[in-house]
Amino acid sequence: MFPETRLRRLRNNKQIREMLDISPPYPNKFIWPTFVVPGKNIKEPIKSMPGQYRYSVDMLVNDLGKIVESGIGGVLLFGSTEEENKNAHGHASFDQDGVVQQAIHKIKEKYSSFTVIADICVCAFTDHGHCGTLDKDKLVNNDETLVTLSSMAKSMCDAGVDIVAPSSMMDGQVHAIREKLDSNNYENKIIMSYSTKFASSLYDPFRDAENSQPSSGDRKAYQASYANLDLALRESEFDEDEGADILMVKPALFYLDVLSKIKASTDLPVAAYNVSGEYSMIHATHMQGWGSLKEMVHESLISTVRAGADILITYWANQYKEIFND
Protein backbone atom coordinates (compact mmCIF):
# COMPACT_ATOMS: atom_id res chain seq x y z
CA MET A 1 0.00 0.00 0.00
CA PHE A 2 0.97 3.66 -0.35
CA PRO A 3 3.45 5.11 0.54
CA GLU A 4 5.61 1.96 0.31
CA THR A 5 4.05 1.06 -3.04
CA ARG A 6 4.15 3.78 -5.68
CA LEU A 7 2.85 2.62 -9.04
CA ARG A 8 4.20 5.72 -10.76
CA ARG A 9 7.71 4.27 -10.35
CA LEU A 10 6.90 2.03 -13.29
CA ARG A 11 5.84 4.97 -15.45
CA ASN A 12 8.45 7.63 -14.78
CA ASN A 13 10.97 6.46 -17.39
CA LYS A 14 10.19 6.05 -21.10
CA GLN A 15 12.43 3.00 -21.49
CA ILE A 16 10.81 1.28 -18.50
CA ARG A 17 7.34 2.08 -19.83
CA GLU A 18 8.19 0.59 -23.22
CA MET A 19 9.72 -2.49 -21.57
CA LEU A 20 6.49 -3.18 -19.65
CA ASP A 21 3.93 -2.09 -22.24
CA ILE A 22 2.28 -4.26 -24.86
CA SER A 23 4.41 -3.96 -27.98
CA PRO A 24 2.89 -2.45 -31.12
CA PRO A 25 1.63 -5.30 -33.31
CA TYR A 26 3.98 -6.54 -36.01
CA PRO A 27 2.86 -5.93 -39.60
CA ASN A 28 2.27 -9.65 -40.17
CA LYS A 29 -0.64 -9.41 -37.70
CA PHE A 30 -2.44 -7.00 -40.04
CA ILE A 31 -4.87 -7.75 -42.84
CA TRP A 32 -5.76 -4.99 -45.30
CA PRO A 33 -9.40 -4.94 -46.50
CA THR A 34 -9.83 -3.45 -49.96
CA PHE A 35 -12.35 -3.12 -52.78
CA VAL A 36 -12.18 -4.57 -56.30
CA VAL A 37 -14.40 -3.28 -59.10
CA PRO A 38 -14.89 -4.22 -62.76
CA GLY A 39 -12.86 -2.35 -65.37
CA LYS A 40 -9.26 -1.33 -66.01
CA ASN A 41 -6.97 1.48 -64.88
CA ILE A 42 -9.29 2.33 -61.98
CA LYS A 43 -8.00 3.71 -58.70
CA GLU A 44 -10.92 5.73 -57.42
CA PRO A 45 -10.63 7.49 -54.03
CA ILE A 46 -13.36 6.66 -51.53
CA LYS A 47 -14.48 10.04 -50.21
CA SER A 48 -15.74 8.72 -46.87
CA MET A 49 -12.51 6.73 -46.27
CA PRO A 50 -9.43 8.90 -46.94
CA GLY A 51 -6.46 6.84 -48.10
CA GLN A 52 -8.64 4.00 -49.43
CA TYR A 53 -9.64 3.27 -53.04
CA ARG A 54 -11.82 1.23 -55.34
CA TYR A 55 -9.40 -0.71 -57.54
CA SER A 56 -9.65 -2.50 -60.82
CA VAL A 57 -7.68 -5.75 -60.75
CA ASP A 58 -4.68 -4.36 -62.65
CA MET A 59 -4.31 -1.32 -60.39
CA LEU A 60 -4.74 -3.38 -57.22
CA VAL A 61 -1.95 -5.76 -58.25
CA ASN A 62 0.21 -2.74 -59.06
CA ASP A 63 -0.36 -1.07 -55.67
CA LEU A 64 -0.08 -4.30 -53.71
CA GLY A 65 3.69 -4.35 -54.14
CA LYS A 66 4.28 -1.82 -51.34
CA ILE A 67 1.84 -3.71 -49.07
CA VAL A 68 3.74 -6.96 -49.59
CA GLU A 69 7.09 -5.21 -49.03
CA SER A 70 5.86 -3.71 -45.74
CA GLY A 71 5.31 -7.21 -44.33
CA ILE A 72 1.52 -6.94 -43.97
CA GLY A 73 0.02 -10.37 -43.35
CA GLY A 74 -2.57 -10.45 -46.10
CA VAL A 75 -5.34 -8.78 -48.07
CA LEU A 76 -9.10 -9.23 -47.64
CA LEU A 77 -10.95 -8.73 -50.93
CA PHE A 78 -14.45 -7.34 -51.39
CA GLY A 79 -15.92 -7.41 -54.87
CA SER A 80 -18.87 -6.14 -56.82
CA THR A 81 -20.42 -6.51 -60.25
CA GLU A 82 -22.27 -4.44 -62.82
CA GLU A 83 -25.96 -3.79 -62.13
CA GLU A 84 -27.07 -5.95 -65.05
CA ASN A 85 -25.35 -8.98 -63.51
CA LYS A 86 -27.18 -8.74 -60.19
CA ASN A 87 -30.17 -10.93 -59.39
CA ALA A 88 -32.30 -11.91 -56.42
CA HIS A 89 -29.85 -14.62 -55.32
CA GLY A 90 -26.45 -13.04 -56.00
CA HIS A 91 -25.36 -15.75 -58.42
CA ALA A 92 -22.70 -13.47 -59.93
CA SER A 93 -20.77 -13.96 -56.69
CA PHE A 94 -19.56 -17.36 -57.89
CA ASP A 95 -18.85 -16.40 -61.50
CA GLN A 96 -15.36 -17.74 -62.17
CA ASP A 97 -14.68 -14.58 -64.20
CA GLY A 98 -15.79 -12.30 -61.37
CA VAL A 99 -13.50 -9.48 -60.27
CA VAL A 100 -12.54 -11.09 -56.96
CA GLN A 101 -11.74 -14.40 -58.65
CA GLN A 102 -9.65 -12.54 -61.22
CA ALA A 103 -7.89 -10.57 -58.50
CA ILE A 104 -7.04 -13.73 -56.55
CA HIS A 105 -5.55 -15.34 -59.63
CA LYS A 106 -3.48 -12.27 -60.56
CA ILE A 107 -2.24 -11.63 -57.02
CA LYS A 108 -1.19 -15.25 -56.48
CA GLU A 109 0.47 -15.25 -59.89
CA LYS A 110 2.68 -12.30 -58.87
CA TYR A 111 2.94 -12.79 -55.09
CA SER A 112 2.52 -16.53 -54.62
CA SER A 113 3.26 -16.61 -50.88
CA PHE A 114 1.15 -13.58 -49.96
CA THR A 115 -2.04 -14.48 -48.10
CA VAL A 116 -5.25 -13.69 -49.97
CA ILE A 117 -8.63 -13.79 -48.23
CA ALA A 118 -12.04 -13.57 -49.91
CA ASP A 119 -15.10 -12.19 -48.17
CA ILE A 120 -18.04 -14.56 -48.65
CA CYS A 121 -21.25 -12.57 -48.82
CA VAL A 122 -23.66 -11.74 -51.64
CA CYS A 123 -24.89 -8.26 -50.65
CA ALA A 124 -22.91 -6.59 -53.47
CA PHE A 125 -24.28 -9.13 -55.97
CA THR A 126 -28.01 -9.12 -55.17
CA ASP A 127 -30.42 -6.67 -56.78
CA HIS A 128 -31.88 -5.84 -53.35
CA GLY A 129 -28.64 -5.41 -51.37
CA HIS A 130 -29.39 -8.00 -48.69
CA CYS A 131 -26.97 -10.78 -47.76
CA GLY A 132 -29.01 -13.62 -49.23
CA THR A 133 -32.13 -14.72 -51.09
CA LEU A 134 -35.32 -13.05 -49.84
CA ASP A 135 -38.53 -14.99 -49.13
CA LYS A 136 -42.09 -13.79 -49.73
CA ASP A 137 -41.98 -11.82 -46.47
CA LYS A 138 -38.79 -10.00 -47.55
CA LEU A 139 -36.73 -11.88 -44.96
CA VAL A 140 -33.48 -13.60 -45.92
CA ASN A 141 -34.09 -17.30 -46.54
CA ASN A 142 -31.29 -18.82 -44.48
CA ASP A 143 -31.03 -22.29 -46.04
CA GLU A 144 -31.33 -21.18 -49.67
CA THR A 145 -28.60 -18.63 -49.03
CA LEU A 146 -26.27 -21.33 -47.70
CA VAL A 147 -26.24 -22.93 -51.17
CA THR A 148 -25.08 -19.67 -52.78
CA LEU A 149 -22.48 -18.96 -50.09
CA SER A 150 -21.02 -22.45 -50.45
CA SER A 151 -20.77 -22.06 -54.23
CA MET A 152 -19.13 -18.67 -53.79
CA ALA A 153 -16.57 -20.09 -51.36
CA LYS A 154 -15.73 -22.95 -53.73
CA SER A 155 -15.24 -20.54 -56.64
CA MET A 156 -12.76 -18.53 -54.56
CA CYS A 157 -10.85 -21.71 -53.78
CA ASP A 158 -10.88 -22.63 -57.47
CA ALA A 159 -9.24 -19.25 -58.12
CA GLY A 160 -6.50 -19.97 -55.57
CA VAL A 161 -7.58 -18.13 -52.42
CA ASP A 162 -5.94 -19.06 -49.10
CA ILE A 163 -8.79 -18.19 -46.72
CA VAL A 164 -12.54 -17.77 -47.14
CA ALA A 165 -14.32 -15.44 -44.74
CA PRO A 166 -18.11 -15.91 -44.54
CA SER A 167 -19.73 -12.69 -43.32
CA SER A 168 -23.46 -13.12 -44.04
CA MET A 169 -24.33 -14.22 -40.49
CA MET A 170 -26.47 -17.10 -41.73
CA ASP A 171 -27.06 -19.97 -39.32
CA GLY A 172 -24.97 -22.94 -40.42
CA GLN A 173 -22.84 -21.05 -42.93
CA VAL A 174 -19.54 -22.41 -41.63
CA HIS A 175 -20.81 -25.99 -41.64
CA ALA A 176 -22.20 -25.65 -45.18
CA ILE A 177 -18.99 -24.11 -46.52
CA ARG A 178 -16.74 -26.62 -44.75
CA GLU A 179 -18.78 -29.48 -46.18
CA LYS A 180 -18.65 -27.99 -49.69
CA LEU A 181 -14.90 -27.38 -49.58
CA ASP A 182 -14.05 -30.76 -48.10
CA SER A 183 -16.11 -32.58 -50.72
CA ASN A 184 -14.14 -30.76 -53.44
CA ASN A 185 -10.66 -31.56 -52.07
CA TYR A 186 -10.26 -28.19 -50.36
CA GLU A 187 -10.01 -29.59 -46.86
CA ASN A 188 -6.87 -27.51 -46.20
CA LYS A 189 -8.52 -24.20 -47.02
CA ILE A 190 -9.00 -22.01 -43.96
CA ILE A 191 -12.35 -20.59 -42.86
CA MET A 192 -12.13 -17.29 -41.00
CA SER A 193 -15.69 -16.73 -39.88
CA TYR A 194 -17.23 -13.37 -39.09
CA SER A 195 -18.54 -15.29 -36.12
CA THR A 196 -19.81 -12.38 -34.04
CA LYS A 197 -20.75 -9.60 -36.44
CA PHE A 198 -22.99 -6.92 -35.03
CA ALA A 199 -25.73 -4.90 -36.73
CA SER A 200 -23.71 -1.73 -36.32
CA SER A 201 -24.01 1.93 -37.25
CA LEU A 202 -20.30 1.89 -38.13
CA TYR A 203 -20.59 0.29 -41.59
CA ASP A 204 -21.87 3.22 -43.66
CA PRO A 205 -18.51 4.23 -45.21
CA PHE A 206 -18.03 0.59 -46.27
CA ARG A 207 -21.49 0.47 -47.83
CA ASP A 208 -20.66 3.68 -49.67
CA ALA A 209 -17.43 2.11 -50.92
CA GLU A 210 -19.07 -1.11 -52.09
CA ASN A 211 -22.52 0.23 -52.98
CA SER A 212 -24.13 -2.50 -50.89
CA GLN A 213 -26.81 -0.65 -48.93
CA PRO A 214 -30.06 -2.68 -48.69
CA SER A 215 -32.78 -1.26 -50.94
CA SER A 216 -35.29 -1.77 -48.14
CA GLY A 217 -35.19 -2.56 -44.44
CA ASP A 218 -31.98 -3.34 -42.58
CA ARG A 219 -29.84 -6.32 -41.54
CA LYS A 220 -30.91 -6.59 -37.92
CA ALA A 221 -32.77 -9.86 -38.57
CA TYR A 222 -29.49 -11.68 -39.22
CA GLN A 223 -26.61 -9.61 -37.82
CA ALA A 224 -26.15 -9.75 -34.04
CA SER A 225 -27.77 -7.24 -31.69
CA TYR A 226 -25.30 -5.05 -29.81
CA ALA A 227 -27.63 -5.20 -26.80
CA ASN A 228 -27.57 -9.01 -26.47
CA LEU A 229 -24.21 -10.24 -25.17
CA ASP A 230 -25.27 -13.85 -24.55
CA LEU A 231 -26.45 -14.40 -28.12
CA ALA A 232 -23.36 -12.68 -29.51
CA LEU A 233 -21.11 -15.09 -27.61
CA ARG A 234 -23.16 -18.08 -28.76
CA GLU A 235 -22.64 -17.06 -32.39
CA SER A 236 -18.88 -17.58 -32.06
CA GLU A 237 -19.35 -20.75 -30.03
CA PHE A 238 -21.55 -22.23 -32.76
CA ASP A 239 -19.11 -21.30 -35.54
CA GLU A 240 -16.28 -22.96 -33.64
CA ASP A 241 -18.38 -26.11 -33.31
CA GLU A 242 -19.15 -26.03 -37.05
CA GLY A 243 -15.46 -26.03 -37.98
CA ALA A 244 -14.27 -22.42 -38.19
CA ASP A 245 -10.49 -22.12 -38.03
CA ILE A 246 -10.44 -18.44 -37.01
CA LEU A 247 -13.17 -16.48 -35.22
CA MET A 248 -13.86 -12.76 -35.58
CA VAL A 249 -15.50 -9.86 -33.79
CA LYS A 250 -16.79 -7.00 -35.94
CA PRO A 251 -16.66 -4.04 -35.20
CA ALA A 252 -13.75 -3.80 -32.80
CA LEU A 253 -13.63 -0.72 -30.57
CA PHE A 254 -17.23 -0.68 -29.36
CA TYR A 255 -17.02 -4.43 -28.64
CA LEU A 256 -13.75 -4.97 -26.80
CA ASP A 257 -15.66 -6.61 -23.95
CA VAL A 258 -17.07 -9.16 -26.39
CA LEU A 259 -13.65 -9.71 -27.96
CA SER A 260 -12.11 -10.33 -24.54
CA LYS A 261 -14.82 -12.82 -23.53
CA ILE A 262 -14.58 -14.76 -26.80
CA LYS A 263 -10.79 -14.92 -26.58
CA ALA A 264 -11.02 -16.23 -23.02
CA SER A 265 -13.46 -18.97 -24.06
CA THR A 266 -11.66 -20.43 -27.11
CA ASP A 267 -8.34 -21.87 -28.19
CA LEU A 268 -8.88 -20.63 -31.75
CA PRO A 269 -7.22 -17.48 -33.09
CA VAL A 270 -9.51 -14.46 -32.92
CA ALA A 271 -9.51 -11.61 -35.43
CA ALA A 272 -10.94 -8.15 -34.80
CA TYR A 273 -12.25 -6.03 -37.67
CA ASN A 274 -11.47 -2.35 -37.16
CA VAL A 275 -14.29 -1.25 -39.46
CA SER A 276 -14.82 1.64 -41.86
CA GLY A 277 -16.70 3.81 -39.36
CA GLU A 278 -13.90 3.49 -36.80
CA TYR A 279 -11.37 4.40 -39.48
CA SER A 280 -13.37 7.37 -40.75
CA MET A 281 -14.12 8.73 -37.25
CA ILE A 282 -10.42 8.92 -36.45
CA HIS A 283 -9.71 10.60 -39.79
CA ALA A 284 -12.54 13.10 -39.25
CA THR A 285 -11.31 13.95 -35.75
CA HIS A 286 -7.80 14.51 -37.05
CA MET A 287 -9.00 16.62 -39.99
CA GLN A 288 -10.84 18.90 -37.54
CA GLY A 289 -7.59 19.38 -35.61
CA TRP A 290 -8.99 17.63 -32.55
CA GLY A 291 -6.42 14.87 -32.18
CA SER A 292 -3.18 13.34 -33.45
CA LEU A 293 -3.88 10.77 -36.16
CA LYS A 294 -0.90 8.63 -35.24
CA GLU A 295 -1.64 8.67 -31.50
CA MET A 296 -5.31 7.80 -32.00
CA VAL A 297 -4.49 4.93 -34.34
CA HIS A 298 -1.85 3.58 -31.94
CA GLU A 299 -4.29 3.71 -29.03
CA SER A 300 -7.18 2.12 -30.90
CA LEU A 301 -5.17 -0.77 -32.35
CA ILE A 302 -3.12 -1.55 -29.25
CA SER A 303 -6.29 -1.54 -27.13
CA THR A 304 -7.76 -4.10 -29.54
CA VAL A 305 -4.69 -6.32 -29.14
CA ARG A 306 -4.86 -5.84 -25.37
CA ALA A 307 -8.46 -7.09 -25.42
CA GLY A 308 -7.36 -10.32 -27.12
CA ALA A 309 -7.10 -9.86 -30.89
CA ASP A 310 -4.58 -12.15 -32.58
CA ILE A 311 -5.24 -10.61 -36.01
CA LEU A 312 -6.13 -7.01 -36.89
CA ILE A 313 -8.27 -6.46 -39.97
CA THR A 314 -7.89 -2.73 -40.54
CA TYR A 315 -7.79 -0.10 -43.26
CA TRP A 316 -4.74 1.33 -41.50
CA ALA A 317 -2.75 -1.65 -42.77
CA ASN A 318 -1.84 0.10 -46.03
CA GLN A 319 -0.30 2.90 -43.92
CA TYR A 320 1.57 0.69 -41.47
CA LYS A 321 5.01 2.22 -42.03
CA GLU A 322 3.77 5.78 -41.61
CA ILE A 323 1.87 4.96 -38.43
CA PHE A 324 4.17 2.58 -36.57
CA ASN A 325 7.63 3.57 -37.76
CA ASP A 326 9.09 6.60 -36.03
Residue 12 within any structural domain of the chain: no
- Residues recorded for the chain: 326
Cis peptide before 3 (omega within 30 of 0): yes
The span from the CA of 180 to the CA of 158, in Å, is 12
Let me know if 250 is a catalytic residue.
yes
Long-range contacts of 173-177 (CB under 8 A, 24+ apart): 173/120, 173/146, 173/149, 174/239, 174/242, 174/243, 174/244, 175/242, 175/243, 176/146, 176/147, 176/149, 176/150, 177/120, 177/149, 177/150, 177/153
CATH number of the domain where residue 121 is located? 3.20.20.70
Q: CA-to-CA distance for 170 and 114, rounded, in angstroms?
A: 29
Q: Measure the CA–CA gap between 214 and 207, rounded to whole angstroms.
A: 9
Residue 8: inside a domain: no
* Assigned domain for 17 exists: no
Given a contact cutoff of 8 angstroms between Cβ atoms, the answer to whether 73 and 115 are in contact is yes
Q: Is 236 among the domain residues?
A: yes
- Is residue 184 in some structural domain? yes
pTM across the whole model: 0.94
| Domain-embedded: residue 133 | yes
DSSP string, 253-274: GGGHHHHHHHHHH-SS-EEEEE
Which residue range forms the structural domain that includes residue 312?
25-324
Structural domain tally of the chain? Answer: 1
Residue 11 placed within a domain: no
pLDDT at 127: 82
Catalytic choice (29, 86, 189, 250) = 250
Q: Which candidate in 197, 220, 263, 294 is catalytic?
A: 197
In a domain, 188, yes or no: yes
**CA-CA distance, 43 to 53, in Å (whole number)?**
6
pLDDT of res. 217? 63
Tens-binned pLDDT, residue by residue, of the chain (326 aa): 888 899 999 999 999 898 888 888 899 999 999 999 999 999 999 999 999 999 999 999 999 999 999 999 999 999 988 888 888 888 988 899 999 999 999 999 999 999 999 999 988 889 887 888 888 888 889 999 999 999 999 999 999 999 999 999 999 999 999 999 999 999 999 999 999 999 999 988 888 887 767 766 677 888 899 999 999 999 999 999 999 999 999 999 999 999 999 999 999 999 999 999 999 999 999 999 999 999 999 999 999 999 999 999 999 999 998 888 75
CB 232 within 8 A of CB 196: yes
Residues 6+ apart with CB under 8 A from 144: 89, 132, 133
User: 233: Cβ–Cβ under 8 A, 6 or more apart, which residues?
Assistant: 196, 258, 261, 262, 265
Please provide the DSSP assignment of 124-169 as one string. Answer: TTBSS-SSS-B-TTS-B-HHHHHHHHHHHHHHHHHHT-SEEEE-S-
What's the Rg (C-alpha) of the chain?
20
Chain centre to alpha carbon of residue 145: 20
